[in-house]
């Protein structure tokens, strides 16, 4: 995709995720925001991610600034650098990423030419540990706002508005905190109010970027609701995303169709904080199930609790690819569940287990939290007893086999929750409780996963921290902290030293805060009143749960949290049952609700551009039996960095996007019927890669399809040919015997090529090693060199030849037994690896005839 010249745009934004690509591209918000900004013709959003540590070291050593993926422009050249703040463990990675981008770490050190560093996400609602590093922090829902901010910043920079004035201008927005101007977390600082908008019925997600490399969650994700009225007292998301807003069935179905067509994914997942609470989940699944089945799309539902599911939902889920079901009782006894206001009783839990076991599930995942306020060893034993009863219930209702995966996390007192003032148990005590449960839960039917409590302690210290926490983050960054959410990169010793240097200690996490004293996040108003939070805390200590709320007009039920959801009006709507002790919230913290005109709901499929569908006469009706076809593809440009499996996924997605889906295997995990000749090593050009595919409905006009498929493929993946192979599997994999490679170095002439070819032919041994295989050691690759000769590589590569590439070598090697990259290395030992151009020209059969 060509990128517009930034000089002609009103504003540019680089969205940075402080984790690696595979994690960042799984983040729903980032994909939505990128799509939304790019929907504006005068704006541009690109993406950058934290590189893996080895790549980060290369960038530092070569003084190469971090760049944006789409254009390769340095991140620091954008008008806005928008950093997602998903959790506290990303703190040091934020600084590491800024440093790699060449942007001064502290806002105070940035000059007019530097971008505006804008943070957003859950952590922006209690940002004291981050404030020195950000020019601005956005609190609340970013959709519908980011594009305006990017335009405002871009236009101001182009007019030469001084940085200070620009930040003042941004700070006039009620949802933006400019730490340098507002006195930040100091008592009395001006409040910033969370931006809250109606959940859009439609948004341009269908145009969202599709990752080339497999992301952790590599699928269409549809947010069906935001916020949660459950009111669990430990759950920050349940408070900072209030009120619960759900999307309509028609809107979700229309978006599912558009997204599947646009992206080519064969997996779709519905998501929200608690998907089972969507009031029309059963109806939604019943609409989506046939739609997905007809397109060979796996339908999944995330955050799906096992109890209280409507029958319709259970019926559909039992017949689609099995979605994992969870129980999140969080605590083992009813007393403690009442303390945390978890609105589920044991009878409901066990009944839910019996229903899902009867429907065919053989496993359920149970989430528990250790260290909750007032927890005792009796509550821990309650966890053990409950797990056993769950397994017994599952066995009695199923076929005798039922297992539980038990996840044990640690309670973290989170800002903006009723438990924000609470203490955590000291670290040694948490470790004792973890060990106690590990011992008591030991069983062949139970798999226990225990989360690292040290990370939780750090979360508490940074999340509730003040300016000293910011100093600790800086110290940890300077000591090398990076990617702390990855256990292999997390160093507790490093963080302890950084905390100590900043005047903090681990013991501080174990201290309770004074509920009457100011907190470092008082200046961020999320709409939930502190009066309500204190009242909830008192109810917790009295073990009194609070009923869940529901702002929908049909079931309006309010516990007066302060957000002031409008009660329904008119005779058709029943009056809301008031919660016990409900009272008006503090008017000084009035609701920041922003009304957004609802987007008209489109009919099924209507939002999608019909031009992306194949003309009816280009797809024949279903063949009987299905026929194998051979495609020949070229892999060049950015596609050379797609690994083998990513390349296969890119081919399948292109077929699906173009409306020519491959046939799929049967069973619970259907796979596309595709055969690739042999994996192409990473970084090599592929000039003519054969791929066989089985079509249920083959193309009626094969000549029209290569161009059509190429238009819908990953950049650098080009379809050259498509032709029928006839009935029966042509066994491409077994037909491939050897491969022809071309290798050249810019500036080398024919004489050099002849000398190298002669030397290779004369060599008795060609010693190679494959660094990826320690057991390989040194091997003699000379017998694998079936052919070697000088070749006019530049002419063979044509437009793909880099400047200066003329003469080089043509090699033929078997596909089995010798890694081609190792062999090329042995032939070109005297060349810098980056200077070499290498391509696989063809795969050959036993007679060394190219397979096409
Ligand atoms: S105002 Fe009432 S309905 Fe709205 S989020 Fe708060 S408790 Fe729920």
Which is the closest atom of ligand 1 to the Cα of 591? 1
Question: Is-contact 122 83, C-beta < 8 A?
Answer: no
533: left (phi over 0), alpha (psi -120 to 50) or beta: alpha
Query: CA angle 12-18-20, nearest 5°?
Result: 105
Q: Which of 344-348, 425-429, 458-462, 642-646 comes out lowest in average pLDDT?
A: 344-348
**How many C-beta neighbours within 10 Å does residue 809 have?**
26
In the chain the first and final C-alpha atoms are separated, in Å, by 28
Which is the closest atom of ligand 1 to the Cα of 579? 7
% of the chain residues with pLDDT over 70: 88
Statement: residue 618 has pLDDT above 50: no
- H/E/C letters for each residue in 818-842? CCHHHHHHHHCCCCCHHHCEEEEEE
Residue 516 Cα to ligand 1 midpoint, Å, equals: 24
Residue 239 Cα to ligand 1 midpoint, Å, equals: 10
Mean pLDDT in residue range 84-103: 96
Which is the closest atom of ligand 1 to the Cα of 564? 1
Alpha helices in 604-716 (DSSP H): 644-657, 705-711
Site to substitute for ligand 1 among 532, 558, 568, most atoms within 8 A of C-beta:
558
Strands (E), 496-559: 524-525
The whole-angstrom separation of Cα 611 and Cα 738 is: 41
176-177 β-sheet, strand order: 43-49, 11-17, 80-84, 116-120, 136-138, 176-177
pLDDT of residue 613: 39
Residue 317 Cα to ligand 1 midpoint, Å, equals: 31
The residue with tokens 């998907």 is 275
Q: Which two tokens stand for residue 385?
A: 């007893």
Strands (E), 35-194: 43-49, 80-84, 116-120, 136-138, 176-177, 192-193
pLDDT of residue 206: 56
pLDDT of residue 790: 94
Mean pLDDT in residue range 223-241: 92
Q: pLDDT averaged over the chain?
A: 86
pLDDT of residue 611: 38
534 exposed, middle or buried (CB, 10 Å; 0-12, 13-18, 19+)? middle
CATH of 6-191, one of 3.40.50.2000, 3.40.1400.10, 3.40.50.280, 3.20.20.210: 3.40.50.280
Statement: residue 101 has pLDDT above 60: yes
The whole-angstrom separation of Cα 628 and Cα 225 is: 43
Q: For the chain, what are the domain ranges?
A: 6-191, 198-229+243-323, 325-459+505-517, 528-591, 614-735, 738-844
Closest by CA position to 542, among listed 373, 343, 332, 348: 373
**How many C-beta neighbours within 10 Å does residue 587 have?**
9
Residue partners of 232: CB distance under 8 A and separation at least 6: 238, 330, 340, 341, 342
Residue 565 Cα to ligand 1 midpoint, Å, equals: 6
Band (616; pLDDT cuts 50, 70, 90): very low
Ligand 1 contacts (CB < 6 A) are 229, 242-243, 549, 551, 558-561, 563-565
The whole-angstrom separation of Cα 434 and Cα 428 is: 10
pLDDT of residue 617: 43
Encode pLDDT of 503-551 as tens digits.
998 888 778 999 999 999 998 888 899 999 999 999 999 999 999 999 8
Site to substitute for ligand 1 among 561, 568, 589, 591, most atoms within 8 A of C-beta:
561
Q: How many residues does the chain have?
A: 852
Q: Which two tokens stand for residue 797?
A: 């590569």
Question: Is-contact 271 222, C-beta < 8 A?
Answer: yes
Mean pLDDT in residue range 629-653: 94
Which is the closest atom of ligand 1 to the Cα of 563? 1
What stretch of H or E contains 245?
Answer: strand 245-246
pLDDT of residue 43: 96
- Residue with CA closest to ligand 1 atom 6: 561
Q: Which two tokens stand for residue 25?
A: 């591209």
Mean pLDDT in residue range 424-444: 95
Question: Is-contact 105 114, C-beta < 8 A?
Answer: no
Residue 560 Cα to ligand 1 midpoint, Å, equals: 6
Check residues 826 and 486 and name the one with the higher pLDDT: 486
Mean pLDDT in residue range 122-128: 91
Check residues 191 and 789 and name the one with the higher pLDDT: 789
Site to substitute for ligand 1 among 228, 235, 245, 551, most atoms within 8 A of C-beta:
551
Statement: residue 584 has pLDDT above 70: no
- Residue with CA closest to ligand 1 atom 2: 558
Q: Identify the CATH number of the domain defined by range 325-459+505-517.
A: 3.30.750.200
Residue 329 Cα to ligand 1 midpoint, Å, equals: 23
The whole-angstrom separation of Cα 3 and Cα 537 is: 52
Query: What is the topology classification, in CATH, of domain 198-229+243-323?
Result: Transcription Regulator spoIIAA (3.30.750)
The whole-angstrom separation of Cα 644 and Cα 678 is: 9
Residue partners of 63: CB distance under 8 A and separation at least 6: none
pLDDT of residue 205: 61
Statement: residue 593 has pLDDT above 50: no
Encode pLDDT of 288-341 as tens digits.
988 888 778 888 887 777 777 777 788 787 776 556 778 889 999 999 999 999
Site to substitute for ligand 1 among 230, 242, 555, most atoms within 8 A of C-beta:
242
Statement: residue 446 has pLDDT above 70: yes
- Beta strand 778-780 with 767-769: parallel, antiparallel or unpaired? antiparallel
Residue 563 Cα to ligand 1 midpoint, Å, equals: 6
Cα distances from 560 to residues 236, 287, 374, 529, in angstroms, run 17, 35, 26, 9
Question: Is-contact 45 52, C-beta < 8 A?
Answer: no
Residue 283 Cα to ligand 1 midpoint, Å, equals: 25
- Beta strand 136-138 with 116-120: parallel, antiparallel or unpaired? parallel
Residue 162 Cα to ligand 1 midpoint, Å, equals: 42
Residue 33 Cα to ligand 1 midpoint, Å, equals: 27
Residue partners of 25: CB distance under 8 A and separation at least 6: 31, 49, 209, 211, 213, 215, 218
What residues does 404 pair with on adjacent strands? Answer: 364, 446
Residue 226 Cα to ligand 1 midpoint, Å, equals: 13
Encode pLDDT of 773-808 as tens digits.
666 667 788 888 899 999 999 999 999 998 888 999
Q: Which of 62-66, 295-299, 425-429, 574-578 comes out lowest in average pLDDT?
A: 574-578
Residue 551 Cα to ligand 1 midpoint, Å, equals: 6
Which is the closest atom of ligand 1 to the Cα of 549? 8
The whole-angstrom separation of Cα 174 and Cα 153 is: 16
Check residues 201 and 13 and name the one with the higher pLDDT: 13
Which is the closest atom of ligand 1 to the Cα of 559? 7
- Residue with CA closest to ligand 1 atom 4: 565
Band (369; pLDDT cuts 50, 70, 90): very high
- Beta strand 685-695 with 627-635: parallel, antiparallel or unpaired? antiparallel
The whole-angstrom separation of Cα 798 and Cα 780 is: 33
Check residues 9 and 203 and name the one with the higher pLDDT: 9
Query: CA angle 648-649-655, nearest 5°?
Result: 95
Encode pLDDT of 827-842 as tens digits.
765 666 667 889 999 9
pLDDT of residue 608: 31
Topology agreement, domain 6-191 and domain 198-229+243-323:
no
Question: Is-contact 667 261, C-beta < 8 A?
Answer: no
What stretch of H or E contains 762?
Answer: helix 750-762
- H/E/C letters for each residue in 371-437? CCCCCCHHHHHHHHHHHHHHHHHHHHHCCCCCEEEEEEEECCCCCCCCCCCCCCCCHHHHHHHHHHH
Statement: residue 772 has pLDDT above 80: no
The whole-angstrom separation of Cα 26 and Cα 48 is: 13
Q: What share of the chain is helix, strand, coil (3-state, %, to 5)?
A: 35, 20, 45
Mean pLDDT in residue range 555-567: 86
Encode pLDDT of 730-765 as tens digits.
678 888 999 999 999 888 899 999 998 998 888 888
Encode pLDDT of 22-46 as tens digits.
999 888 888 888 888 998 999 999 9
Mean pLDDT in residue range 569-590: 36
- Residue with CA closest to ligand 1 atom 5: 243
DSSP class of residue 617 equals: G
HSE at residue 94, side-chain half, CA atoms within 13 A, is 30
Q: Identify the CATH number of the domain defined by range 614-735.
A: 3.30.70.580
Residue 273 Cα to ligand 1 midpoint, Å, equals: 16
φ, ψ (nearest 5 deg) of residue 305: -80, 155
Which is the closest atom of ligand 1 to the Cα of 561? 6
The whole-angstrom separation of Cα 180 and Cα 189 is: 11
């Amino acid at each position: 995709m060509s990128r517009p010249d930034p000089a002609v745009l009103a504003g540019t934004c680089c969205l940075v995720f402080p984790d690696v690509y595979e994690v960042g591209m799984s983040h729903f918000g980032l994909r939505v925001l990128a799509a939304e900004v790019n929907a504006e013709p005068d704006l541009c959003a690109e993406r950058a991610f934290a590189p893996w540590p080895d790549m980060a070291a290369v960038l530092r050593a070569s003084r190469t600034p971090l760049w944006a993926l789409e254009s390769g422009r340095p991140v620091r050249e954008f008008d806005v650098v928008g950093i997602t703040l998903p959790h506290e463990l990303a703190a040091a990675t934020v600084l590491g990423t800024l440093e790699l981008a060449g942007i001064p770490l502290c806002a105070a050190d940035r000059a007019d030419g530097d971008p505006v560093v804008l943070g957003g996400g859950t952590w922006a609602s209690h940002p004291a540990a981050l404030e020195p590093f950000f020019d601005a922090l956005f609190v609340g829902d970013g959709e519908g706002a980011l594009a305006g901010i990017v335009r405002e910043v871009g236009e101001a920079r182009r007019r030469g508005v001084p940085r200070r004035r620009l930040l003042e201008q941004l700070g006039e927005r009620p949802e933006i905190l400019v730490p340098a101007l507002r006195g930040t977390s100091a008592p009395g600082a001006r409040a910033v109010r969370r931006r809250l908008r109606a959940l859009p019925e439609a948004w341009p997600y269908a145009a969202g970027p599709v990752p080339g490399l497999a992301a952790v969650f590599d699928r269409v994700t549809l947010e069906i609701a935001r916020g949660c009225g459950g009111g669990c007292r430990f759950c920050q998301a349940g408070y900072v995303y209030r009120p619960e807003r759900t999307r309509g069935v028609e809107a979700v179905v229309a978006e599912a169709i558009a997204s599947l067509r646009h992206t080519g994914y064969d997996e779709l997942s519905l998501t929200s904080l608690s998907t089972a609470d969507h009031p029309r989940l059963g109806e939604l699944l019943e609409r989506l199930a046939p739609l997905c089945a007809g397109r060979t799309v796996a339908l999944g539902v995330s955050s799906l609790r096992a109890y209280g599911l409507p029958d319709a939902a259970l019926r559909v889920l039992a017949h689609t690819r099995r979605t994992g079901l969870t129980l999140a009782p969080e605590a083992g006894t009813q007393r403690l569940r009442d303390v945390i206001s978890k609105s589920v009783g044991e009878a409901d839990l066990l009944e839910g287990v019996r229903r899902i076991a009867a429907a065919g599930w053989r496993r359920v995942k149970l989430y528990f939290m250790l260290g909750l306020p007032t927890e005792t060893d009796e509550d821990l034993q309650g966890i053990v007893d409950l797990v056993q009863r769950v397994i017994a219930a599952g066995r009695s209702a199923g076929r005798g086999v039922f297992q539980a995966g038990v996840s044990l996390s640690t309670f973290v007192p989170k800002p903006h929750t009723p438990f924000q003032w609470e203490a955590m148990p000291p670290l040694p005590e948490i470790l004792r409780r973890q060990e106690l449960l590990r011992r008591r839960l030991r069983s062949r039917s139970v798999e226990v996963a225990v989360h690292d409590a040290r990370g939780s302690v750090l979360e508490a210290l940074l999340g509730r921290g003040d300016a000293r926490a910011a100093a600790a983050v800086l110290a940890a960054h300077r000591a090398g902290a990076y990617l702390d959410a990855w256990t292999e990169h997390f160093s507790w010793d490093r963080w302890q030293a950084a905390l100590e240097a900043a005047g903090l200690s681990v013991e501080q996490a174990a201290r309770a805060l004074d509920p009457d004293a100011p907190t470092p996040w008082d200046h961020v108003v999320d709409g939930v009143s502190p009066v309500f939070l204190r009242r909830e805390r008192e109810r917790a200590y009295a073990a009194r749960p609070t009923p869940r709320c529901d702002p929908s007009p049909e079931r309006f039920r309010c516990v007066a949290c302060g957000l002031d959801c409008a009660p329904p009006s008119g005779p058709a709507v029943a009056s809301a049952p008031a919660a016990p002790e409900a009272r008006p919230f503090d008017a000084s913290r009035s609701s920041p609700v922003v009304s957004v005109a609802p987007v008209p709901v489109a009919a099924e499929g209507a939002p999608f551009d019909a031009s992306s569908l194949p003309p009816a006469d280009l797809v024949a009706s279903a063949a009987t039996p299905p026929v194998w076809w051979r495609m020949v593809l070229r892999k060049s440009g950015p596609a050379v960095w797609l690994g083998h499996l990513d390349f296969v996924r890119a081919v399948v997605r292109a077929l699906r996007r173009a409306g020519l889906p491959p046939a799929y295997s049967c069973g619970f995990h259907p796979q596309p019927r595709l055969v690739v000749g042999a994996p192409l090593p990473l970084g090599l050009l592929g000039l003519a890669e054969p791929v066989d595919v089985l079509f249920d409905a083959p193309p009626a006009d094969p000549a029209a399809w290569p161009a059509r498929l190429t238009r819908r493929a990953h950049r650098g993946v080009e379809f050259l040919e498509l032709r029928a192979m006839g009935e029966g599997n042509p066994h491409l994999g077994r037909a491939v015997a050897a491969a022809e490679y071309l290798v050249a170095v810019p500036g080398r002439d024919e004489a050099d090529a002849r000398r190298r070819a002669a030397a290779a032919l004369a060599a008795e041994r060609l010693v190679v090693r494959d660094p990826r295989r320690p057991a390989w050691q040194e091997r003699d690759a000379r017998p694998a060199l079936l052919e070697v000769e000088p070749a006019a590589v530049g002419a063979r590569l044509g437009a793909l030849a880099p400047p200066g590439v003329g003469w080089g070598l043509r090699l033929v090697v078997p596909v089995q037994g010798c890694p081609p990259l190792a062999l090329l290395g042995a032939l070109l030992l005297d060349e810098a690896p980056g200077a070499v151009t290498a391509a696989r020209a063809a795969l050959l059969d036993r007679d060394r005839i190219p397979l096409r």
